[in-house]
Chains A and B, each alone.
Chain A
Amino acid sequence: MDTRLPELSHDEILRYSRHLLIPEVGLEGQQKLKAASVLVIGTGGLGSPVALYLAAAGVGRIGLVDYDVVDFSNLQRQVIHGESQLNKLKVESARQRMLDINPDIQVDVYNEIFTSENAMRIAEPYDIILDGTDNFPTRYLVNDLCVLTGKPNVYGSIFRFDGQASVFYAEEGPCYRCLFPEPPPPGLVPSCAEGGVFGVLPGTIGTIQATEAIKLILGVGEPLIGRLLLYNALDMSFDFVKLRKNPNCKVCGEHPEVTELIDYEQFCGMPASDHDSGSAGDEWDITPQELKERLDRGDPIRLIDVREPHELAISRLPGAELIPLGQLAARMHELDSAEEIVLFCKAGTRSVRALEVLASAGFRRIKNLEGGINAWAQEVDPSLPVY
């Protein structure tokens, strides 16, 4: 036995007795867990089950990185937080719950945006990095950080009913960039804030990430290194594909070009956040109040709703016509560039893209309803719900 491993108290032996009974864990495995440190990036959908299970399993030191506060719309899936923690810092809310489960562990909180400037400092004390972020720039940052510092990246990602999980560990296998050398163009893959997410899905994928982190600490089983799990909740399918190291990978390949952390928002062409900005810039925006005044005056404005048909059941603007963003390019002939057009969606992200589509086709008399129908509901018509 490694004599440097920390001892367990009698209370800890009782707490972890179901682990100690498994030969693959045993006393030494539990001591390894106590000696281990994991940094969890993001305490949202994926980070919630991860943090709960790592705390319960007795991982001795857990770091949490998140800059956000608990929002009402988080509670559908972010099970570590509750109504009593609304508007409080997510990292503090999570720490409180984790220490309630297990006061014997150390929980470090970093109420910061994870960036190229602070990533090395924050990650330095941890053995394993767990990626529970919600955007592409931070995923590339986490990957490159792990490659450059030789740490395993326990990856999980979700969209609607689809989940992915893997362990990207460049010392032993491929990294995230070997599979995804470049991010998709901005706008192709909607965020959860925009496209929605099945609430149980991050539970499934986050729990798999926690499993992989614990297996790495214990050194048991077959880690997901070199394999990508593809899960679909509707089909209830778990498929695996093989991943190989790309010798031309820009960060872990034979001749790496990326030798330090870069500007990932620039690399991805999108912000490191899944929050809707809702604005296309002053020149292209119209506020809900301005739109109301102009409609009340009887100005001839064509209102185009670029949401999906099922969203009409939640809220709708009188007189608006539905052209979902995905159909806009094919249905552009239904619009006349001489007319004044106001585009809107839920919160202004899709309508900004719709505006770009129309602008690049020569439309000029187009505006984006800033903040979408949600802003209209808040500022003009409180009879509509915000979602």
Chain B
Amino acid sequence: MPTLKIPTPLRPYADGQSVVTVQGGTVAEALRDLVAQYPALEKHLFSEEGELRPFVNLFLGQEDVRHLQGEETPLNEDDVLRIIPSIAGG
């Protein structure tokens, strides 16, 4: 199953997990499975209208999924999807 890397700022909403195994053949399905496993993540990833929030950056390998097929990008069994957080410390 694909895995999803959770960035540090979102881990408190995913029981502290850094890597989560998700089910789904596309990015959208994987995200739906993720929020089903960790409902507290939902409001941080999706707007009330169910749209992925603009500050949520998803990368498959080295590529931004926006430059692939967006949320419809297909996922293979061993793919690693990564959420890249906005951080500001200095």
Given the complex of chains A and B, what is the CA–CA distance between A181 and B40 in angstroms? 24
* CA of A243 to CA of B59, assembled, Å: 10
Q: What's the dominant secondary structure at chain B's contact region?
A: mixed
Q: Scan A312-335; emit 1 where CB is below 8 A from any B CB, else 0.
A: 000000000000111101100000
Contact B89 A180 (CB under 8 A): no
What's the minimum C-beta distance from A205 to chain B, rounded to whole angstroms? 9
| Cross-chain contact A157 with B8 (CB below 8 angstroms) | no
Please give me the residue from chain A that is nearest to B59 by CB atom: A241
Chain B contacts for A230, CB-based, 8 A = 84
A-B contacts, 16 of them at CB < 8 A, read: A134-B90, A135-B88, A136-B88, A139-B88, A156-B90, A157-B87, A158-B89, A159-B85, A159-B89, A162-B8, A188-B44, A191-B88, A192-B90, A244-B67, A326-B13, A327-B12
Given A228-B84, A241-B62, A324-B12; A179-B89 close (CB under 8 Å) = no
Stretch in A41-49, A119-127, A252-260, A288-296 touching the partner: A41-49
Bound-state CA distance A240–B8 (Å) is 17
**B67: nearest chain-A partner, CB-CB:** A244
**Chain A residues numbered 99-137 whose CB sits less than 8 Å from any CB in chain B:** 131-136
Give the distance in Å from the alpha carbon of A327 to the alpha carbon of B14 in the complex: 10
A384 proximal to B (CB < 8 A): no
A189 x B40 contact (CB < 8 A): no
A243-B64, A326-B12 known; A184 vs B84 contact (CB < 8 Å):
no
Contact call B89/A242, Cβ cutoff below 8 A: no
Bound together, the chains give a CA A212 to CA B75 distance in angstroms of 34
A residues near B57, Cβ cutoff 8 Å: 179-180
State whether A189 and B90 are in contact (beta carbons under 8 Å apart), knowing that A162-B8, A326-B12, A326-B40 are contacts in the complex: no
Instruction: Please judge, given known A-B contacts A156-B90, A157-B90, A184-B86, whether A330 and B55 are in contact too, CB under 8 Å.
Output: no
Sample of 10 further A-B pairs with CB below 8 A, known A188-B44, A202-B90 = A44-B90, A47-B90, A158-B90, A162-B8, A162-B85, A180-B57, A184-B9, A195-B89, A241-B64, A244-B67
